[in-house]
Structure 1
């Protein structure tokens, strides 16, 4: 059984080509960048998503709205219906619009709706636990993407260097081959 030689690209060998050394340095550089950049960028992405979710939770508020009409029954398979309601924006102006409601509340009923800082109806913010999960998943996804980019870069560089080595080998063989082939001499 043959022994696997580590760092063979840098060893002195009469058959070693310059492209092997270049390939070794490129692989080392990509690995270094990957091991440093992937966790760093993943942590930055995690923090950015966490901040965005916290900002979202800070800007969205529950507001009491009064229904202006009876709520229509929910469509088949839907859990929420919509109804026209009136509510006050944070600046005190009255707003009217369609809001989601659960069940079939009657006109004049008060329902809670989520609004943004301008008073527009919006979706409820994600919970703190869901925000943490979103942040971690975003960080892991970005880090994995950087690793995949590094692997793809290594593969592309390898293909290009192999192609170039094959071209050089073919050129050398056309020069040396006739001397080895006694039948054509």
Structure 2
């Protein structure tokens, strides 16, 4: 198994002028390895561009959600129904819902809200509502938007890197087969020439 340092040395030796010890397969492998390194370097600024674009979009979405969603206090109209869920011997308490009433912009609203604690009927819980006063999800924070943009850039880089490494491994496999066939032909030719004398 050739290490990265070995590939670098072989690449430098194979690309440096003509040498009787450097075969055509060595030069081809050196060029393929150079393309892999170039792809890795080129993808660094590309990943940075992806991060910047996704960050601007996600931060704008987070700011829009923060502007459109409001947290209000809702009063539970009944006790929540706690549902036990599980598989086999393992069980856990699933998130439960309960009917509740809340007021938003002078209008009373009714609906089911999610309960995460031990609240009972008459208790107040905090819920997020949209502009119409309907229950909605918690808005995304700006820090979460920035983190997701970094993850997107890293994912793009790793995806391209995996493809490039896979193509290099495939090319290396083909090069090794060609090199082995070439060595076999030359050894047979050499042994045949010596045995004839």
Please report the TM-score for the alignment, with normalisation by the length of structure 1: 0.68
Which residue of structure 1 lines up, in the alignment, with residue 161 of structure 2? Answer: 147
Which residue of structure 1 lines up, in the alignment, with residue 77 of structure 2? Answer: 68
Length, aligned pairs only: 178
Q: 2:127 aligns with which of 106, 113, 123?
A: 113
Give unmatched runs, 5+ long, in structure 1: none
93 and 149 in structure 1: CA distance in 2 versus 1, 3 angstrom threshold: farther
Structure 1 residue 18: Cα displacement: 2.2
How big is each residue's C-alpha offset from its partner over 1:48-83, in whole Å with a ceiling of 9 and x where there is no partner?
Answer: 256236414523613534433234569797696421
157 and 120 in structure 1: CA distance in 2 versus 1, 3 angstrom threshold: farther
Which residue of structure 1 lines up, in the alignment, with residue 12 of structure 2? Answer: 7
Which residue of structure 1 lines up, in the alignment, with residue 98 of structure 2? Answer: 83
Please tell me the root mean square deviation across aligned C-alpha atoms, in Å. 3.8
Checking the alignment, whether the CA contact within 8 Å between 1:99 and 1:121 is kept in structure 2 is no
How big is each residue's C-alpha offset from its partner over 1:72-117, in whole Å with a ceiling of 9 and x where there is no partner?
Answer: 5697976964211245899x8956234335431424x553322457
Please report the TM-score for the alignment, with normalisation by the length of structure 2: 0.65
Task: State the distance in 1 between where 2:63 and 2:94 align.
Answer: 24
Choose between structure 1 and 2: higher strand proportion: 2
Give unmatched runs, 5+ long, in structure 2: 1-8, 85-90
